[in-house]
Every structure is written in C-alpha cells, then in structure tokens.
Structure 1
Amino acid sequence: MAGGTSYQPYKIFNDPIHGSIEMHPYLVRIIDTPEFQRLRYIRQMGSVYFVYPGASHNRFEHSIGVAHLAGELVQQLNRRYHHGEDTELDKKLQEIHEERMKELTTKHEKELVQLKQQDASSDNQESEPREQCKLEEEHKNQLQKLEAEQHVLITKDEGLCVQIGALCHDLGHGPFSHQFDDLFIPKVVEKLSAELEGIPDGEMKREKETKKNTLENWTHEEQSGSMLEMLIGNISDTECRAFIDTHKDFIKELIDPRGEIRNFKNPKTFLYEIVSNKRNGIDVDKMDYFSRDCYHLGIESNFNCGRFFKFARVCVCDGEMQICMRDKEVGHIYDLYQTRNNIHQKACQHKVVSAIDTMIVDALLLADKTLNISGSVLDATKYRGLTDAIYQNILNYEKIKCETEDLSNIKKAQEILKRIESRDLYTCVYYSRLDATLGIKNKREHEQDLEERLQAKYASEAKEKEFAVRIINLASGKKGEDPIKHMKFYSKQNHCTAEKLERTEVSQLLPNVFSETVLHIFRKNSKKTDISAESSPMNDWCQKYKCKLSK
C-alpha cells in the first residue's frame, strides 16, 4: 500500500453523482480532520442556493468527488501505457528513473558522511555500525522500490499524492465560495487603500499596509496550502502524517501549479493537469462540479467524464508529457464547455443571484470592522472557523461584551440580510452584454467609475452609495480562447503521437467567440429604472473604455 506497510481497509462512500466510491485510508484520515470537515459548511454555489433551492450541496462532497475522479483518471492513464509501445514516452520515463537513482545515491552518501561526523563527535562509538546498517537497509529498500517502478507511468505514491491534492484543493475557500475571493477581498483592499491615504506614518499604517499587501496577493488556492499545513498536525495516524509531510510541497504544487512547469518538483508534467489544469483548463475539478451542479440545479449535462477517461492517454508533445485525447472526442470537449456555459447563463449569471451576491458582500463589508472577517485570512486557525455561518452570525449578532461598542455598521449589515430574507432585493435597473472583455485586475476600477457617474447623475443627494455595478466575465477554455487550442489529439492509427487540431478539421459550425462580458447595474434603495444606454453616464463610460452595450 502506498505510503505505509500496515493494512488499513478502504472505506466506501455513497455519492449521488459517482455511486459507491472507494477511498484510500489516508484520504479518510484527512476527511476526519477539522480543516476538511469545515467544508461541510461552505456551499458549492454560494448565493445560487437563494434562487435554486436544490443547490444546497457543499464543498465537502465536491472535494470527495474530485479525489475519486483523480484516482479514476490515474488508473486509466496507467492502463493506457505499455512499456515498449511508445519510444518517446519510454525515453522520458527512463531519464526520470536515472535522475531519481542519482538523487537517491547522492542523498545516501550525504547521510553516511553526516553519520560519521556525528559519531566522531560522540562518545558512543558502538552506535556507528548499527546506524550504518540501518541506513544501508533503507537505501536498499528504496533502490528496490525505484527499480520496481521503472516502467510505471504513475507510481502508487504519485497517484496517492494526486488524490490528496484533489481532496484538499478547496480547503482554502471562504464563505459563499467565490464571492469571498472575487468580490469581498478586492473591496476590502479598496477600502484599506482609501484608509491608508489619511493615516500618518506609524505602527497602525504599517499594519494596514501589511494586511493590504497580503490580501492583494491572496488566493483560495494558496490558502488551501496553508490549511493543508495545519491539517497535518491533526492527523493521529503516524504513517499517514509522515507521508503527507514528506510530499506536502508536491501536493501544494498539484493544488496550485503556477509558475514555470519546468521548475516543478515532479518532472512528470502531466500530473499537474489532473487537479488544476493550467494548460487548457480541462481537469477533474471541473468535471465533478459540472456534473454535481447540473444534478442539483436540474440542468442537463451532456459531458461524460468516464468516456473522457477511457480516451485519455499521456503522449510526449513539444518535449513535455501531456494528457492527450482521441481526435474523435473533440466534440465531447466542446460539450464540457457547453455545460459550463449553461450553468453560468442559467444560474451563476442570474440577475437575482447577482443581486444577492452584492447584498451579502455589502453586509460582510459592514460587519468586517466588528467581526474582523478579513483579518481571519491572515490567521489559519481563525480562518478554519470562517464558513457560511457568518451569515447567521451577522443576522443574530448581539452586543454582549462591550457596552461602548459601535454597532451601527452591524445593524446596517443586519438590515441588508433581513432584506434578503424578505426578498426585498436590490433592483436590477440595467442589464446588458459588453462587446469588450475587461481584465480581472482593472474590472473593479471600471465598476467603481460607473458607480460614481451614476451616483452623480441620479442620486447626488444620497448620503450612501446608491448604485452597485457588476461586470461579469465568462470564458470558455483558457482566457476566452477556443477550448481545443491548447489541447493535443492522437488518432486511432497513431496513438503515440498527438497534435493540435485545426478548427476546419473539427467543424465549419464552430463559434468564433468563446467569451463574453455581462454588465449588471443595481439600485440599492430605489425601484426607479430610468437608466438607459443613451444616458450621459453610460455613454461617457463606454467612450472612455471603448466598449459598446448590446441593444
């Protein structure tokens, strides 16, 4: 068994999407930690649940599903590989094997030198032969293990690491999932930037600058790595804890494979395409949440991940090992992204969902000073207690400890949440598609600019912000490009060589655009809908950013 010698039974989980699935004992140990159990209390689809009552599923079951699919894909990739069939792949694996043998020998030699140095400075000279024998035995076992895995595409340890990465990939999500990192955190940074302008140099300013810089670069994937570090200490099984601790850097890379792929710890580059695929965006994370979201939303999905796995294989392309697909399955890849488009169009981009998103974020921002929600991001222990329960915490917050505490903002936050409960939502006064895709980094700048223009025109006397603008980007594939642009395909006649497919080889009916940008404008306290594309704020804003509104 990978990562241990003692037998431990696998556990069976009954999942509505994948049926009865087996989980490795180490995965079960992870599931039984507070860091993972926290995911029971974070809904997969955030505010969508307020519109689609069936969307009550959580990050907990999604993560288990992703771990299962990762294991299935690993098995299928191993099944497709046969030593002696693909000379390029054999050559790559042989190079990796030789490099690992060299590293193991170098490590052993260093350990022997360190042992001799320790014994030279110790009074107990009798321990040297015993310790040396122990090192030699360990080295021999490691060599035997490497030799046994010489012609294996994905070793047992690598496969288990991939499953652990899949299981832990969402540990860092905050309340209401993507609302937290896409909406709440950027607005906290914006608020901190404004506060810093009026603060003189000193300790308080340095603290706020540190917090701002941390939040600016914060991602839930990086937070997942921090939660993984904390999780290790809560595993009582010593073998499991030692295995994860040994491979934690590799597991973190699998969760968040950013940077140059050649600098990764494992030279088998295709392993980084299983959990979070930065090459073309097709990974087991999406496969599970598309299937799971469609099931709970009542939306049909035409994508079959089991079929995808059966036609997936590893080929050497441009000097790197990549997961490639059979050429006849290209239509199936488009089905995957059509499913994604359906989910976003019918649920995630729903105007009512967008309104509730905006209201919850407004409430979180108002409650932040009292409950220090954003500060929890800086402390993994506090972050572990941050879940969707924050909604009820704000709604039912009462002054208990400090009689002088200013509760004005908390009361405003409560009023917003009470409006959600009574369906007195922000009014969507304008909806349109934009003909330009605005980058994520400057998206908030564009939103704020339009909010200020609308405020000046329609609500100049209001003391508080009356308008909320949401610019939502939806892209298929990688950065709005054709989904198959960064994918390689092999043929029935030659399954060892994979190449790009030209659009003309696929179909003449393919769309030319794979991304769109949607504009939502909400009024917070008024039901007036007197905004039009021809109004001066809208017209001036469009001219400034060189974009057009759809009619």
Structure 2
Amino acid sequence: MIVDVTIPFENQCQAFTDAWAHKWEKYAPLTDILKSRDYHVMVDMLIAGVLGAWDPSNKSVLCACHVSRRYTKLMRCLMVSDTIRWSHDIYVKHITGQCQYINPTRPTATGPDPEGSEPPSRHCRGREAQQLPTLLRHTTPFLLGPRPPRAVHWRRRWAGRCAQLGWRRRRQCRAGRRRRTCRPLSGLGSPASPKGCAPRRSESQPENQITGSVLPSLTKSDLENLGIGPQDLRLKLLACLNKLGQHYAEKMKVFNDPIHGHIEIHPLLIRIIDTPQFQRLRYIKQLGGTYFVFPGASHNRFEHSLGVGYLAGCLVRALKEKQPELEINQRDILCVEIAGLCHDLGHGPFSHMFDGRFIPLVRPGLKWKHETASVQMFEHLITSNDLGKVMENYGLVLCEDMDFIKEQIGGPVDETTCENPWPYRGRPREKSFLYEIVANKRNGIDVDKWDYFARDCHHLGIQNNFDYKRFLKFVRVCEVKRQKYICTRDKEVGNLYDMFHTRNCLHRRAYQHKVGNIIETMITDAFLKADPHIKIEGSDRKYYKISTAMEDMEAYSKLTDNIFLEILHSSCPELAEAREILYKIEQRQLYKYVGETKPKKGKEIEKEEYDTLPADVAAAKPENIPHDMELKAEDFIVDVINMDYGMKEQNPIDNVRFYCKSDPSQAIKITKEQVSRFLPETFEEQLIRVYCKKTDEKSLNAAIQYFVQWCINRDFTKPQDGDVVAPLLTPMKASWKNTEEDELEGPTECKKASKPRTRLFNN
C-alpha cells in the first residue's frame, strides 16, 4: 500500500484532488509491478498536518476541515500520527518537499522502538530506497509519524514522533521544583504529554498509539487524563474531533441500497461480507413462501442484513453525537454494526419456515432457534476466514468484543447468568442501552424492524407508516432505576403505536397470507419426505441431513433455498414423493383452504394441542356424511397463528420510556389511556385455519362440513368464509345468526331441507 502524507495544502480542497492525481501518476509504474506480484496497492492521501496541527499558520487546511485555529494547540496535545488505520503489508511515507524514504529498521507497530533509533537521515531517503526489492523485503508495516517542516523548533520536531516512541517528560514546578510524570491515557495503554510541556524520550515507555483511527473514540475522561481542561474546553475539543471525524480518510465502501440510498460500510464489515458464510444469505428469501404469492417479494436476507448493519451504525452514532457523556467509543460502534450485519446468519431455507415449521415437526424435542445458529455461524465465519487478527487491527479486543457481538444477536452467552442482575459480559451495566439497538428484548423497537418494515413494504407494495429517520432525531438515553435505556420524545408515542400497527398489518396481509402459509406447509411436507435421503457434506467429511445440518456450520453453510431445486430436479427414486409435492406447487395444485375461525378469549389452543388438532377435526364428523366420503386426520392441516404486537398479550409501549422537552434527562412512562381511546384493548389474538389435502369437489365439501361441525363443538366463532356449506341435520348456533334471514330460519328448517343449501351465511 502506498500512502501519501501531504503537508501543507495551499489551495484548500482543490489540493486534495491535485495531489492525489499527481501521486497516482508518479507511482503508476511501481504499482503495476506490485500488482503483478499479488500485492494490493492503492494511493491514499492523508491530512496529517490537520490533526497534528504542526503548522497553525496553515489556514487553508484548517478551513478545509472547518476547524477553528483556537483549538490547534489543544489538538497538538493529542500527539496524532495519522488519520487512517493501516492493515496492509507495505507502508511508504512521503512528505512534500522532502525526499522519500523507507526505514528498514522499523519494528512492528506493537513493539517498542529499537534503542538509539533516530529520524532517518537524508542519505537513506534517496530514490534507491524506493526500489522494488526493498519494498518486497521489508513487509512489516510500521506507521511513521508526521515529520514537521525543517524550520520548526526541535521541541515540535520531537513532538511529531511521539505516536510511536515512548515518552516520559519532566516538568519543573515553581513550588518545590519536583518531578512530575504524565498519567497514561485510559484505554490506550500509554503515557501522553500534556499541553505546553516539552517531551523527553524514554526508551522504556510503550508507544502512545494515539492515531487518527483512535481519535474518533476519545472520550471526556481520556482528555482529562491528558491534562486538558477545564471541562468546557474538553467538550469543545470533543466537538472539534467529531468534525474531524467527518474527514476520516478510512476507505469506506459505498452500496446503493434501494431503501436507504447510498450507504457507507466500514472496511471491517466488508471483510465479513466477502466471506462464503455471509454470501450464503443471497440465496435465502427474506419472506420465504410469500414470494409465491407476492411477485415483488424476491429480496433476500443479504440486503436486509446490510440494511440492519447500516441502521445500527446510524443509531449508535446519533447517540454518541448527542450525548458524549455516554462515552461511546469506536469499538462500541464497530461491534454494534457487526452484530446488526450478522444477526441473520443462522436462517435456514425459506427463512422462518425452517425454524418455525420444519424443525418442530422433524425434531419435536429440540429447542432450537435461528439466533442460536447465527451465533455459531458468526464464530465459524471469523475462525474459518482468519478474521480475528483483522478485528484486532481495527482496535477490537476479541475476548470482550466477541462476547458483546454474540450477546447482541442471541442474548447472554452464559444462560446460567440470566438470573443475575446484569447477565451480560461484553459490556458493563453503564452501557446497557447498546443491547437495545439490534434486538431489543425490552420493547421490540430495534433497527431490525426498521429495516424489514421499510424493505418488505417496498417489495410487497404496502404502505409503510413508520419513518425511522424521525425517530433518530429524537432518540436519547435516559437512566431508569440505575440502568440506561433508549428513550424518545413524549410526542412520538403515537408514531410508535403506528409502528406496531404496521407490523400487525404486514403479518395479516403478507406474512400470514393463507396461500403463502399453505405453500410453506407443502414445502415442509416435501422436506420431511426428502430428509432421510439428503446428504450434505460437513467438516471432517461427515454427512448430515436437512434436519441435522445445523449441528455442523460447514454443512449448514451449504443449506439454502437451492435445496428446493435440488429436490425438484433430482432423478433419485427415493425423492419421488417429495418431488411430486414440489411439482404441485409449481403447477399451483395447492392444498385447499377450508375456512378460518377464532377461539374465544381465554379458550385459546395451547401449543401442546397443535399435533392433535387434525384428528380432532376428523372426529367432528357430521351425521349425514356418507361412509365413502369420510375424511381422516392425515387429510386435514390445521394452522394455528398467534397475532400480537411482538410481546404476546403485553402492550410493548408500556416498556418504552419517554422524555419531555423541558427535562430531557428525566424518563417518564405514558399509558395507553393518555394517548387515545381508539387504541386496541387487546394485543393478542389467535387465528385457526383449516386446509384439506384432497382437492376434488366432493372431498372439499365434506371437509367444510367437518370444519363447521368442529367449530360448533369447540364453541369457536363463526367461520370467516361466507361460502361455507352447512352440514345437513346440524342446527346452526344461535350466536351465529347475525342477519335478518338467519333470524327467520330456525333449526327445524335445516332439518326439513331436502338438499344442502349452497350458502350457510348470507351477505
């Protein structure tokens, strides 16, 4: 990597473009040679003179970055050495007006400077040092500090190298002339020189390591340890550094997303995206079988994951900008973005169909959810692609940050600590609000929903009434019972109810569509029949079935929606039954919808009863059904759907805290009665749909009579479909008579009927 450090700039922003073009032209021949030897080469331009403020008289640089000159002396105390992270094999430093050089004696970035090493002399900076053998021989990178102009005082010249040399400076106090040593910068593991002191070199001290890549993560306490004060100056300096962070020269990659527009992705996230485990998400439909009903719902988990990672970064940065006292650092931001990016790595074929329908049927005793597989797949992604070192190069601490990322995805790593007051290990209680960004277990308001609301509505053609950008304008962290929560303005409570109403509408109109659900049921049946005959190779050459692939991440990474086509186009005789079911889906020969009903409140069907429901329907045989038209339990499919606002019978807004304009630090609760009387009274209901596998007209008519009789026996509500055929000799329930014609007709008329009516309930 060839990096060009250019100081000073004389023509403000125009110099950026001119210098970049000049250096690229100059080093084009060398880069071609390096590329031919499989080196990754790029020309980058840094603004070391800006962050180091070595030349306060250079107004053009400061104006280009919108930094006032009054802060340059404070900035000098930070001992800045660069403005980007470095992670490539070769680092070549160039300073305008001086000869180029490479110091072949430089150690690695984590080791101390060798004894007696001095700034490179003029004779070692010649063009002979730039020859290709020298570049290829010294592949260990070391970030060199910015070298000031020759006319600058020697004290400032030494100050320019403090980022890689350890320093201990002595200061004579007026009273007592006692020695004083700098306090180390917390979190960075090195001493730094406070303002106004001449540094003195100490070979025994570690590196300062305050680089431009660390600058955005400096907190108020770090500045205090550097001796910068009083508090108002520290706050002004933090604001100044935030502005400088906008000119951060990190190589971000830009994606053109149809929902969020042009979004920037951090290089570490790019390394994660460009792995087989993450690219697997390109082949898993976001909405599963819903795509067979809504032609526009062709989007995949891949783009949804990109959107969640981007929104997670937007939210955590908004909190950092509004509340510097939260001490959100660059590590926190990266970990939250990675968790958002990787939260869906564990989804199986057709997304929620796999963990919601297939696994409970094929392995009923297994308590498994896709979040568990997401954590395991993330670990597999990091280890198999050797990304641990890359994460460390970007400032992450693996032992803590890996736990933090996994806890955001799947909850506490150690389930035995769930009963503890603070069950998480990745971050302390003081940063509890970070766990509410990707997957909010407290009230369900998280960036995952924000993205799939916007993305799914866009592809389904359904209106989205929630705008996350407005939420970001009012988001804030408040303390409630010694724990910090993400809050919003009191006037936003109505918009949050609209958000959960949007969720309910998406479930009713799309996610739980009666045709989409039955297609997923048929795919599940095909997978059940194919499961014993499918072999997926995993690690150590072991083979797994569809139902056991999640036990080995190497095998699970090969399991996508493509298994549908593998079964459909197979010629294996063992897969004939599964293949026939998938053929019927393509030919639209689906299981027939019989009807829908609801149990009364308090009489909902429990999960333990689900398996017995088809037999219960088959047992509700009307008296007039001929013997040759009898239906069995295997002819029925009963689909139980629980609709809620995400927290079963609870109102999720009860767990949201708000703040007032007059007192932003005070968190308050707003009840439903304080908002409107038009809001829902109940937040959970159960729907029961019955399907028949036999598709001929006689069997369907018989299935409808079975269903109506079953509803009468179980005291369910009137079936929703008005075309239900009445069972002969079965009196209609009095509570179902809701029209004038129904009131005129009694049970005796049903008995006198010589033939069944074509409609049970009139419009």
Q: With structure 1 as the length reference, what TM-score do the two structures score?
A: 0.76
Gaps of 5+ in 2: 1-81, 88-248, 413-417, 535-544, 622-627, 720-735, 737-763
Q: Which position in structure 1 is the counterpart of 2:382?
A: 232
Matches within 5 A, 1:281-430: 281-371=444-534, 372-399=545-572, 407-408=573-574, 410-430=575-595
Could you say which residue in structure 2 is the equivalent of 1:89?
none
Does 1:526 pair with 2:695? yes
Which moves more between the two structures, 429-438 or 159-168?
Answer: 429-438
Q: Confirm or deny: 8 A CA contact 1:221 1:256 kept in the other structure.
A: yes
- Cα distance change, pair 513–446 in 1 and its aligned pair in 2 (3 A): same
Kept in 2, the 8 Å contact 1:363–1:417? The answer is yes
Provide, for residues 221-251 of structure 1, a one-character-per-residue CA deviation record: whole Å limited to 9, x for no partner: 0100110111012435564244474421111
One-letter amino acid matched to 1:516: E
Query: Structure 1 vs Structure 2: percent identity of aligned residues?
Result: 45
User: Could you tell me whether the CA contact under 8 Å between 1:29 and 1:235 is conserved in 2?
Assistant: no
Alignment-derived partner of residue 167 in structure 1: 341
Within-5 A mapping of 1:72-471: 72-83=314-325, 152-190=326-364, 212=365, 216-235=366-385, 239-242=389-392, 243=396, 245-246=398-399, 247-258=401-412, 259-260=418-419, 262-265=422-425, 266-267=427-428, 268-371=431-534, 372-399=545-572, 407-408=573-574, 410-436=575-601, 442-443=606-607, 445-457=608-620, 465-471=634-640
Separation (CA, whole Å) in 2 of partners of 1:351 and 1:2: 56
CA distance in 2, matches of 1:319, 1:233: 37
2:556 partner amino acid: Y
- Does the CA contact (< 8 Å) of 2:618 and 2:632 recur in 1? no
Q: Go from structure 1 to structure 2 and tell me whether the alpha carbon gap of 1:4 and 1:475 turns closer, same or farther (over 3 Å shift).
A: farther
Q: Distance in 1 between matches of 2:388 and 2:485?
A: 35
Amino acid at match of 1:160: L
- Partner of 1:484, secondary structure, is helix
C-alpha change, 1:367 and 1:309, in structure 2 (3 Å) is same
For 1:20-35, list aligned pairs within 5 A: 20-35=262-277
Q: Of residues 672, 681, 692 in structure 2, which corresponds to 1:503? A: 672
Alignment partner of 1:51 is 2:214:
no
User: What is the CA-CA distance between 1:508 and the residue it aligns to?
Assistant: 2.2
Q: Please list the CA deviations of residues 125-179 of structure 1 after superposition, one character each: whole Å capped at 9, or x if unmatched.
A: xxxxxxxxxxxxxxxxxxxxxxxxxxx4321101110110000000000000001
Is 2:675 the partner of 1:487? no
Q: Secondary structure at the match of 2:634?
A: coil
Which digits, 9 at most, give the CA deviation of each residue in 1:392-424, with x for residues without a partner?
Answer: 01111223xxxxxxx44x211111111110001
Partner AA of 1:26 in structure 2: L
Give the Å deviation of 1:476.
0.7
Give the deviation of 1:457 after TM superposition. Answer: 5.0
| Distance of aligned partners of 1:335 and 1:420 in 2 relative to their CA distance in 1, 3 Å threshold | same
Q: Secondary structure at the match of 2:593?
A: strand
2: CA distance, partners of 1:302 / 1:434: 30
Which structure exhibits the higher relative contact order, with contacts defined as CA atoms closer than 8 Å and separated by 6 or more residues? 1
> For the Cα contact (< 8 Å) 1:281–1:477, is it kept in 2?
yes
How much has 1:533 moved relative to structure 2? 8.2
Change (3 A) 1:462 1:508: closer
Q: 1:272 offset after TM fit, Å?
A: 0.8
2-structure distance, mates of 1:510, 1:34: 46
The aligned counterpart of 2:128 is none
Deviations 1:492-548 (A, max 9, x none): 1011011110222211221102222111111112341443588544444x36xxx65
The 1:386/1:438 distance shift into structure 2, 3 A limit, reads farther
Listed as ranges, the matches of 1:4-19 within 5 Å are 5-6=86-87, 8-19=250-261
**Which residue identity is paired with 2:334?**
L
> For residues 452-488 of structure 1, what are the alpha-carbon distances to aligned partners after superposition, in whole Å with 9 as ceiling and x for unaligned?
1223456997788111111011111422322311100
What is the rounded CA distance, in whole Å, between the counterparts of 2:314 and 2:301 in structure 1? 20
User: What SS does the corresponding residue of 1:374 show, helix, strand or coil?
Assistant: coil
Higher deviation after alignment, 154-163 or 259-268: 259-268
Instruction: Report the 3-state secondary structure (helix = DSSP H, G, I; strand = E; otherwise coil) of the residue aligned with 1:43.
Output: coil
Query: Structure 1 CA distance, aligned partners of 2:443 and 2:603?
Result: 21
Give CA-to-partner distance per residue, 1:172-227, whole Å, 9 cap, x none: 0000000111110100124xxxxxxxxxxxxxxxxxxxxx5xxx121100100110
* 2:255–2:262 CA contact under 8 A, matched in 1: yes
SS in 1 for 2:640: strand
Q: State the Cα distance separating 1:334 from its structure 2 match.
A: 1.0
- Larger gyration radius, structure 1 or structure 2: 2
Question: 1-side partners of 2:705 and 2:620: how far apart?
Answer: 12
C-alpha distance in 2, partners of 1:491/1:364?
A: 54
Partner Cα distance (1:54, 1:296) in 2: 5
Amino acid at match of 1:230: H
Amino acid at match of 1:223: A
Asked if 2 retains the 8 angstrom alpha-carbon contact of 1:450 and 1:538, the reply is no
Report the Cα distance in structure 1 between the residues aligned to 2:718 and 2:650, rounded to whole angstroms.
22
Q: Which amino acid aligns with 1:390?
A: I
Give the residue type in structure 2 aligned to 1:186. Answer: P
Q: Is the 8 A contact 2:281 2:301 kept in 1?
A: yes
Deviations 1:97-120, CA, capped at 9 Å, x for gaps? xxxxxxxxxxxxxxxxxxxxxxxx
Looking at structure 1, the residues matched to 270 and 444 of structure 2 have their Cα atoms a distance apart, in angstroms, of 28
1:434 counterpart letter in structure 2? P
Choose which of 253, 265, 281 in structure 2 pairs with 1:39. 281
Cα 1:535–1:345 shift into 2, 3 Å = closer
Partner of 1:86: none
Change (3 A) 1:177 1:2: farther
Distance 1:2 1:473 in 2: 53
SS of 1:279 mapped into structure 2: coil
Q: Could you say which structure has the higher helix fraction? A: 1
Counterpart CA distance in 2 for 1:244 and 1:360 is 43
Question: SS of the residue aligned with 1:171?
Answer: coil
Deviation per CA, 1:350-404: give whole Å up to 9, x if none. Answer: 11111101101111111111112001121111000000111101111223xxxxx
Q: Verify the 8 A CA contact 1:33 1:231 in the aligned structure 2.
A: yes
* RMSD (Å) for aligned C-alpha atoms: 2.5
CA contact under 8 A between 2:525 and 2:578: conserved in structure 1? yes
CA distance in 1, matches of 2:555, 2:603: 34
Secondary structure at the residue paired with 1:434? coil
* Native 8 Å contact 2:604 2:686 kept in 1: no
